[in-house]
Structure 1
């Protein structure tokens, strides 16, 4: 903000404060503050319609508005305006409530000084920018600028509601690029990212402006077509997309041909829930791929045979725990400042008797849906803690172990007792156990969530916020929970050297976390060029394929021997 002109709107009914505030702001050497003054909320709202301001100083005791109503009035008209609340000494709690309701900071009248006031305004502007960036990341994919999964679900629900009133149909399309993995493997991930951007642009040319295109992750896209009168309307758009995607893409100065498969489900008034509609579109996409790819298929009831296969998978999952078919692999976590191993994350795998070693994305969703995640989650926790004890008994230096808690596990009444019992039975030092939770479970039953996390924290275990930035990323909740660390999701780390927006957001997250006393772990670090960027931003720790793939317990022991017995650093894999 050096040499920056900052327009400040002072909303204060006591005109005596105007020269005082003006004098304090004039002492700034870094910025030039331009101060405007109004004494009524309505006057401020009228002015905000005509002019833009960089920050507002807001009195909560106005002749035409008192308390949070003044704040709400400003936020409704100017939601992007940073706000610093001025409060009386005896009314500081109201100012604190205002900050919890969306104001960026507050100062107490009578305790103001020029440095304090200027610092509060600077902080409010920076915090608002961070909040807006995180809000964007919560709803949009940074690579393609398309709505993400979260915003997609919101818009799908709204589209279904509108259909009930309009009588039109909604067509939901699930789309993905055929053999996209081959592009990543042969041309590299940069080319893969570029292809996703090109694909997003082509999709925009094929639909109307009022339709929603979203990227769910990887090469998976979805389109919501509203106000569809006939099934053929969706078919025409789908064929247009198939034809458009069949044209060559220029990647790394080469013409590359990639096709797209599409599954379509039609929604008529009240005939399906959003989850059923999504499932049907996904089944139709599977059918399109089964029919040779580069085509579209509408959902048909006979596709429900896939459910039979799903039921067989569920049955096998129930037997898997009894047959000891689940195994844990452990991925190294490295302290970036000293390049040393400090921990591992326990990751679940299924050693299927017929299909071999299955990755979690092939069965975790079914565990969640069926509730099997609870007994399996308990097995993971117990096995990980037991393994940590065995490593300690084998003479290896203590490393911490991170275990993921699912939302269903977290909501169990006996969770805290289960963790305590596991610690007691395995002899695990709670100091070396990190439990990872995701943002989504923080959004409901807040008081209960805080209570559970505090009880876990009282046991001595550390709580880590996983996949930060992929859910409802709000700066407001971080200080309310006993987190020891947060993990930046790999989708942001992946583009840290190629996307200045992602780099700026990661830097802001790290700075925020450190200010709150939290450590930061970067997930999904795969490339050497990502390390200097993370070190520059003072990221504490990292994990990813550049340090090592998830390892079996036996391979982990070999790694420990190589590192600890030789007292060596943790060297990254060669490029």
Structure 2
């Protein structure tokens, strides 16, 4: 070969497939001349192992058999050329090597486009699934399991929204490089889209070994990124599944790792969770619950309860809060704690929220404020979730509900928790201003339990704050809770914001709040959530609702 090439040519010869694999991992090669009959490998398995170890190396098969079927099998498996021993001279061999290298380069370029993510250069889903299926098949000949790691960046949306999509793309590329450096050389890293990355680890000792890989990745990502001249810290939630089963399904392994990743997110950002069958059972239960809730909404099983809001000075009702309930086919009434979180996760909160708003506006139109003598028109409070607030169509749908029911917008108060302001602050501010332009009032619910409460009162157009019931419970019993309540009441008075105390259950709490100057209250002392048929007078044209 050296004589034919006319220049130096380094050839490394090994007699076993395992030695060839070790050499490729440590030193690499420009081309592999491969015998199909080795002590630890036979036939097409030898081609599979070489390509599994070094996918981009060109292969020229050397065989003692002149068999067209073997030739085609080798080429279909991924070899670039097939030569028969005893029929090859140096010139023929060198020409075959050159052609193999050129063909491989062309194949790699085409495969790079078809099987790799265009932004990061990582493997894409089709390539990853193909490699995962091959790795599963190899489990029949291996004692050690494989692991699949699914990871999701915890602050990627914030980067996109705050610093722009270019910064988001820059973060994804930098993340890809850090993950590649953190895993082993034989591990496959893929990007499935968005901020989801997946790693395939073969030949791991056990689940603990896979956890070590995940922790290295998390450690690599914990160092600040510099994006758009801004230092940004992100974390990754990781789900892990391991398998020794050669009959396992690639799609099921990926699904299980994905379930574990979402479990890690639920337990706190930046976590790492191995999969167990209880997670799969929980997922199945969740899917059934989602189907049931979707059916219930379509079957109009939702209803609205009302809990009174009172003037603490005289105990008279001045409004109510609309609260959704779910009446199951068996007549059981489900509290929101059972289904609201599920509605948020699945997007069903939109149709649920629209139903509550529409029903509340219709109820507002039935109340007749002219029959309340010198009292103000009753206010009706409706909850709006963070998911609803970022919906571009929210303002239009609320406006249509008000118009359709001929309800007075000034009697509608929309309640948001402080977490709603943190999803996307710029979008939240724009949406709240648009809602205020409708003429409705805005309320911060559970005030004092969220993040940066005081800044919300000055940055957003807030009319009402509700003191969280946890502070009301400690009123007069714990000095810090009493101090918080006093401070919020004083703050509301200074800013011209109405203060409502939630969770009032005893006369002593109501009296103390009144003495502190809290104008309004809500709680079981004044009435539990219910149909409330006698809260306010109704118009003479409609006596069926109150």
Q: Could you state the TM-score of these two structures normalised by the residue count of structure 1?
A: 0.46
Which structure is larger by alpha-carbon Rg, 1 or 2?
2
TM-score normalised to structure 2 length: 0.48
